């Protein structure tokens, strides 16, 4: 009998994040989303066996909301969310995160605070997440998974 606990984490990518590694690599890096599990293993070592990572990407605002609502029904333990440009514009996504009560880490490939466009410093979803990781390329996702894991384990307490 296997009594080891398992966390189910959902990694969600929003619009224009279906081609990470191909899209503007000078801004977003040249690594792909497929490299996340290896990076998680590098960060978490044996503990990574306690995690199941599921991936979802959509270019549509409503589909992202549908997926997060479904995650609540499924009992997903945590979400790593890169909402892309919806980070800066979507009150609907912010409203969704405000009620579903799924611990969520917001991630970005680029450092949105250091980008040229002022608009990218506006973050509508940030109020409803447990924390934000930005600027580490694809490693932002692995750090997001690690942060979620540590959060659920009590942050070392």
Give the binding site for ligand DQA (CB under 6 A): 16, 82, 84-85, 87, 108-110, 112, 120
Q: Concatenated DSSP letters for 81-125?
A: EE-TTHHHH-HHHHHHHHHH---EEEEESS-GGGSS-GGGG--SS
Is residue 56 within 8 Å of residue 85, measured between CB atoms?
Answer: no
Strand partners, 107: 133
Complex with ligand DQA: residue 67 or 108, whichever CB lies closer: 108
Complex with ligand DQA: residue 9 or 136, whichever CB lies closer: 136
Angle, CA 139 vertex, CA 62 and CA 153 arms, to 5°: 80
Complex with ligand DQA: residue 85 or 152, whichever CB lies closer: 85
Taking the complex as a whole, the smallest distance from the CB of residue 108 to ligand DQA amounts, in Å, to: 4
Taking the complex as a whole, the smallest distance from the CB of residue 80 to ligand DQA amounts, in Å, to: 12
**Is 108 annotated in the active site?**
yes
**Is 54 annotated in the active site?**
no
Complex with ligand DQA: residue 124 or 148, whichever CB lies closer: 124
* Candidates 54, 88, 108, 151; catalytic one: 108
Taking the complex as a whole, the smallest distance from the CB of residue 65 to ligand DQA amounts, in Å, to: 17
Taking the complex as a whole, the smallest distance from the CB of residue 113 to ligand DQA amounts, in Å, to: 10
Strands (E), the chain: 7-13, 51-57, 78-82, 104-108, 131-134
Among candidate residues 79, 30, 72, the one with its CA nearest the CA of residue 54: 79
Active site residues: 28, 108
């Amino acid at each position: 009998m296997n009594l080891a606990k398992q966390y189910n984490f959902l990694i969600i990518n929003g619009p224009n994040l279906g081609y990470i590694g191909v899209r503007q690599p000078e801004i977003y890096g040249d690594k792909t989303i497929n490299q996340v599990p290896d990076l998680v293993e590098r960060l978490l070592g044996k503990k990574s066996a306690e995690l199941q990572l599921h991936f979802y990407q959509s270019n549509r605002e409503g589909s992202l909301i549908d997926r997060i609502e479904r995650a609540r029904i499924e009992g997903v333990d945590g979400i790593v969310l890169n909402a892309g440009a919806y980070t800066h514009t979507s009150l609907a996504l912010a409203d969704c995160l405000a009620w579903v009560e799924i611990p969520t880490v917001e991630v970005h490939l680029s450092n949105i605070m250091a980008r040229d466009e002022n608009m990218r410093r506006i973050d509508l979803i940030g109020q409803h997440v447990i924390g934000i990781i930005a600027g580490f390329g694809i490693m932002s996702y692995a750090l997001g998974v690690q942060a979620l894991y540590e959060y659920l384990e009590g942050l070392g307490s």
